[in-house]
Chains A and B, each alone.
Chain A
Amino acid sequence: MISPEQVQTMIQERLSNAEVKVVGDGEHFEAIIISPDFAGKTKVKQHQMVYAALQAEMASETIHALSLKTYTPETWQAASQAV
């Protein structure tokens, strides 16, 4: 088991200038990450950057499932207006 706060901290440490929100039940998590570092990168690359911060937890399946939503500050702006 791992807490959403722990997951959030790990992502934060890796993506220093990212805004990270994580919710989850200890095994299944959903995370929204907003970072300028995602600019110009494909979705796959963006998600791989996040997974890299949680390599051990993903490999050991401590984290069973991690749904990711990645945005740059600009796309986040557009998305939040659309909602």
Chain B
Amino acid sequence: MTPEVKAKIDKLVSENKIMVFMKGSKLMPQCGFSNNVVQILNTLGVPYETLDILADPEIRQGIKEYSNWPTIPQIYIDGEFVGGSDIAIELYQSGELQQMVEVALAS
């Protein structure tokens, strides 16, 4: 991963309380797993930023190295990697995701 790609990712995850690297966009998710995450965040009704890695191959590879996580989507809350689709669903079902999001948005 080039320093420029890393800097770009650093900027995205630090400037956005809730940042999702996904396939497609909020309105047009291109993959079921990415769609899961979008649906969960929409249900929580919180503001979040997304980046379509299909349109940015450098970030598509770089993000996997950045978080040591091989798949997309990837969710970051308050700059911290939280997980992918499976973990988002588990955290949502346990109510932990709501807490994490509220803390992040309140800070």
Binding site for B on A (CB under 8 A): 43-44, 47-48, 51, 54-55, 58-59, 65-69
Give the interface size class of chain B: 10 to 19
The digit string for B75-93, where 1 denotes a CB below 8 A from any CB of A, is: 0000001111111001100
Taking A44-B81, A44-B82 as contacts, is the C-beta distance between A65 and B87 under 8 angstroms?
A: no
Which residues 10-68 in B have Cβ within 8 Å of A in the complex?
33, 64, 68
Contact between A44 and B86, CB atoms less than 8 A apart: no
Contact between B83 and A47, CB atoms less than 8 A apart: yes
Pick the contact of B87: A43, A54, A55 (CB < 8 A).
A43
Which of A44, A54, A67, A69 has most B Cβ within 10 Å?
Answer: A44
Pick the contact of B33: A48, A58, A59, A65 (CB < 8 A).
A65
What does DSSP make chain A's interface, helix, strand, loop or mixed?
helix
Measured between beta carbons, the chain B residues less than 8 angstroms from A66 are: 71
Of the A-B pairs whose beta carbons lie under 8 Å apart in the complex, a sample of 23, sorted by A's number, is A43-B83, A43-B90, A44-B69, A44-B81, A44-B83, A47-B69, A47-B83, A47-B84, A47-B86, A47-B87, A48-B68, A48-B69, A51-B70, A54-B70, A58-B70, A58-B71, A59-B70, A65-B33, A65-B71, A66-B71, A67-B86, A68-B86, A69-B86
